[in-house]
Structures are given as C-alpha cells and as structure tokens.
Amino acid sequence: MSLPKYEILIGGKWRAAASGETFETDNPYTGEPWALIPRCGAADAEAAVEAASEAFETGPWAGTNASQRGALLRRLGDLLAENAEALAQTEVRDNGKLIAEMLAQTRYLPQWYYYYGGLADKIEGGVIPTDKAGVFNYTRWEPLGVCVAIVPWNSPLLILAWKLAPALAAGNTIVVKPSEFTSVSALEFGRLIEKAGFPPGVVNIVTGFGGEIGAALVEHPKVAKIAFTGGEMSGARVYESAARGLKHVTLELGGKSPNIVFDDAILEDAVKGAISGIFAATGQTCIAGSRLLVQKSIHNEFVDKLVAFARTAKMGDPSLFETQVGPVTTPPQYRKILDYIAIGKSEGADIVLGGKPADKEKFGGGRFIEPTIFTGVGNRMRIAQEEIFGPVLSVIPFADEEEAVRVANDTIYGLAAGVWTQSIRRAVLMAERLKAGTVWVNTYRAVSFTSPFGGYKRSGIGRENGADAIYEYLQQKSVWISTATEVPNPFVLR
Ligand code: TXE
C-alpha cells in the first residue's frame, strides 16, 4: 500500500521538495510508517526565505494594517477551533501523545491566535517628552522581517502557535520548520492558513532534517530572527549560526526542573503534582518535574503513595481516552531513555518502579517504557543533572528549606520549578529564591497564552506567551521631526 505523500507550502504554492526526495514518518504506537514527507534542503530554504522576504517587502501583507492582521489571526483561530478534532487525531498518529491531551491542546490553540490577534493593534509607540527644544520625537514598533520558527516534536502545533501568533501579529513573515518526526500537523495547518486569507508567502512551511533544511534556514542572510524550541545541543548550534549572521533569537531549551514537596504539603495533591510532572506526556516535556525533592521526614511515606499511584497509570493506545501513558515519540528518544535508566542503575540509584521497556506484544508494537522511579538519587548523579525527556523520575531527599533551595538550583537549567506547601511564607520565599522562569505552587504544568514562559540559565533566551512576547518580534524606531524655525549650528550635535 502506498503512503500518502504530503507537500510543502512556499509562496502560496504546494509542492514537493526541490530534490523530489521524501522520508517516512511513523506512528509511535505501532512503529509503522504512515506518511511521506518532503526532504527539503538548501534550495527549498532559499525559495522559502525568498518568498517570505518578497511578501514582507512588496506583497499585500506590507500594506496590511495591524487591525487587519488581527482580523486574519482571529479568523485562523476560528478555523482551528472548527478543525481541532481532526488536527488532534493527526498529532496522536504522528507523535503518539494522548488523544485526551492533544484534543485539549488543539481546542485551546485558537486562544493564542485570538490573544495576539487582539494585541496586534494595541502596540503603541510613544511621544517622548524630549529635553531638546524645537523637535518632536516619537517611537514606532516595527516588525523584524523574515522569521524562522523551528519546532520540536513534543507539542507540534502548540509550540508553533507560541511563535507564529506573535510573529504575525507584529507584521513579520515566517518560514516554519516542524520536527522531522512530526511534520504532518503543520502541513495540514497550512491549509487553514490559506483558508484564513493570509497572502501568499506570509507563512511558508518546509519540512526535513535539522542539519539540512533547518541549518540552511538559520544561515540564510535574509532571515532576521529565529525562534527555536528544541534540545540544548541543537539550540546552541542555532545560536552560534545566528550570531554569525547577527540575528535575533529566542531559544526555548530543555530543563531538569525540581518539584519540591515539603512536609506540610497536602500529600495526596503533591502525589498528583509529581505524577503530572513526570508521567504526563510520557515525560516528554521541557517542563517535566524530573527531579522530585522530598523532605526527609515524609520521604518514605510519600514515595509509597507515589509508587502506588503511578502503578495504576494505564499504558497503551494513545488514541483511546482512558490511556494515561503513551509511547515514546521518536526512536532516538526511546534509546536515550533506556540508556539513562541503565546509567541510573550504574550510578547506584534504586529502582522502585518500572525500569524497562514495556511488553511490545501487549502495547501495539510501539516504543513503550514503563513509568520509572529512582530513589536514593544524589543531585550530582547524571540522572539528576541531565535531561532525559522521558518517564523517568529521580527522587532526592532534603532536610530543610536551605537544602531544598541549594539542591533545586544546583543545575545548569532553569525552566520551571514546583513547590508543594501550605505555608504562604514558604511559598513566597521559595518562589523568590528558585532560579527558574516559571514557579508553580501547589500545581504543576500550567501554561497559558497570557503568561510569560521561558528559561533561566541554559534553559533558554527570551520569553514566549504573554503580552510582552510580541516585543520579541518587533524593533523600536525613534523618529525626530524638527519644529524649529531656524537650523541650529550644523557642526554641533543637536
Ligand atoms: O531535538 P532537536 P531532538 C530535548 C530532549 C531531547 C533532545 C533531542 O532532551 O532528548 O532535545 O531531541 C531542529 N539547525 N528536547 O533531537 O534536534 C530539528 O529538526 C536548525 C527538548 O528531537 O533540538 C527540530 O525541528 N534546526 C525540547 C528541532 O530543531 C535544527 C523539545 C528540535 O530538534 C538543527 C524536543 C540545526 N542545526 C527535544 N538541529 C523542548 N525544549 O521542549 C535540529 N534542528
């Protein structure tokens, strides 16, 4: 049986890669290929950036005002809402995440387009009360030009929305490159972009591998900005290349987030928070609470409760609503997680749950790994320091607040942190002392279009979501107009 063949979108036209080559994308549940994706290279990068550049400089988009851009974004939001179910099915098929989560995500997705659509015509310049006489000085916010959005496989359409919505609201044009493991949803979404009425070339979608089309896009001299979400190593490569071209970047990279349970917490709630932090999305999230710091006085009781709860997690077919833990999305990720389980064992940590691949026969032939909990973990162990990006939890005991803060911050990352306590004093002080872009107290894994998201330290640069994120796609211009009747001395700085 031949597989459906998808096409890329460049300058309003659907077409194959310039080379005509394709590659297979698989269904992580079955491990079977199910579609063919164009394998783009430098020639496609050139065509896509040229189309985006032409649309930015001379196309109808250049003459579109902010209110019109807002209306287009809201129309796109409506179309997404109408197509949420079909897009969720595609995501599940291509990335193996749960239908329950993907449907919630695709239904939530329109909010990014409504929010930034609404914001588009509220970005105002200022009139500067300048100290200079005889001059009128004001500011304007202007788009950067051609932006490139590089997206990973774990939440393809959601993470794309975080980039696309503010970039378009600000008036940029864009080239989108989804992950080679999950390209289909972006291509299907491209049909809605067309239907919404965005002029050709405003949004271009190309597919392929990071080191091929990805690198070619980042290097292209006509690209003004790269918005990247992915792993730290690829992020560093993108940053180096962007630096050579003096380009703007936002980077959202990984994490090793501490989820801290104090002895005054409501333990049942904290157990659910710990589970949601590491086993939701099969642990494949940048905000995974992969280091669980538990106060010594409740350590054993808490671990017992946690293991009992985690044991009930229903693993299986991600397209069923009752499933709670799905497969691992990519083959390299599957191998990486199993390697880290072996590393944890060799470092002397104790496995109290899981620790091996799940029975393939029982679970659709795909890439399943049992929810795994290590206890007796020291914070300097590799399983406590390196991002695993899978259902593997390291439990680390601590004595008091001082030690909790020290261990929590002893990491190269700083994306998120969780705190479980009933003490308001403790909540406020911990939120202040934890070095992370997001701190959750008595909750975990909450994100919204309204609230800034991004990393401290090696977890990233810049912020996504929230009103300020639009400025990541704008540049400020200062305009001086003389109101003087006489021209002052031309040899002296005005
Ligand atoms: O990510 P990559 P991978 C972490 C996680 C995971 C590791 C590797 O720890 O195990 O990264 O995952 C594109 N120029 N995260 O290999 O390579 C690539 O094609 C331009 C955390 O899947 O970072 C894809 O579109 N583009 C993360 C995107 O970058 C390049 C989510 C992400 O892929 C490129 C995913 C290059 N040189 C993985 N190299 C998070 N922060 O949520 C790669 N790409």
Measuring from atom 28 of ligand 1, which residue has the nearest CA? 152
- Given the CA of residue 229, which atom of ligand 1 is nearest to it? 41
Please tell me the distance between residue 181's alpha carbon and the centre of ligand 1 in angstroms: 10
Please tell me the distance between residue 26's alpha carbon and the centre of ligand 1 in angstroms: 18
Q: Taking the domains of the chain in order of start, what are their residue ranges?
A: 8-253+459-478, 258-441
**pLDDT at residue 445, as a whole number:** 96
Q: How many CB atoms neighbour CB 191 within 10 A?
A: 13
Rounded to two decimals, what is the model's pTM?
0.97
Pocket test for ligand 1, best of 40, 94, 234, 334 (most atoms within 8 A of CB): 234
The CATH label, of 3.40.309.10, 3.60.15.10, 2.60.120.260, 3.30.420.40, for the domain at 258-441 is 3.40.309.10
Q: What's the distance, Cα to Cα, between the start and end of the chain in Å?
A: 74
Please tell me the distance between residue 188's alpha carbon and the centre of ligand 1 in angstroms: 21
> Got the DSSP string for 367-434?
--B--EEEES--TTSHHHHS---SSEEEEEEESSHHHHHHHHH-SS--SEEEEE-S-HHHHHHHHHH-
**pLDDT at residue 366, as a whole number:** 84
pLDDT in tens, 14-58: 999 999 999 999 999 999 999 999 999 999 999 999 999 999 999
* Topology annotation, domain 8-253+459-478: Aldehyde Dehydrogenase; Chain A, domain 1 (3.40.605)
Please tell me the distance between residue 162's alpha carbon and the centre of ligand 1 in angstroms: 16
Residues of the chain with pLDDT under 70: 1
- Given the CA of residue 287, which atom of ligand 1 is nearest to it? 42
378 exposure class (CB count in 10 Å sphere: 0-12, 13-18, 19+)? middle
CA distance 14 to 205: 9
pLDDT in tens, 456-487: 999 999 999 999 999 999 999 999 999 999 98
Active site residue ranges: 252, 286
Residue partners of 27: CB distance under 8 A and separation at least 6? 33, 34, 93, 94, 96, 366
Measuring from atom 14 of ligand 1, which residue has the nearest CA? 215
- Given the CA of residue 238, which atom of ligand 1 is nearest to it? 14
Please tell me the distance between residue 238's alpha carbon and the centre of ligand 1 in angstroms: 10
Counting Cα atoms < 13 Å in the Cβ hemisphere of 85 gives 1
Please tell me the distance between residue 231's alpha carbon and the centre of ligand 1 in angstroms: 4
DSSP collapsed to 3 states, 259-322 = EEECCCCCHHHHHHHHHHHHCHHHHCCCCCCCEEEEEHHHHHHHHHHHHHHHHCCCECCCCCCC
**pLDDT at residue 346, as a whole number:** 98
pLDDT in tens, 90-108: 999 999 999 999 999 999 9
**pLDDT at residue 363, as a whole number:** 78
- Name residues contacting ligand 1 (CB within 6 A): 150-154, 177, 179-180, 209-211, 214-215, 218, 229-231, 234, 237-238, 252-254, 286, 333, 336, 387, 389
- Given the CA of residue 237, which atom of ligand 1 is nearest to it? 37
Unique residue bearing structure tokens 């609230």: 451
Residue partners of 346: CB distance under 8 A and separation at least 6? none
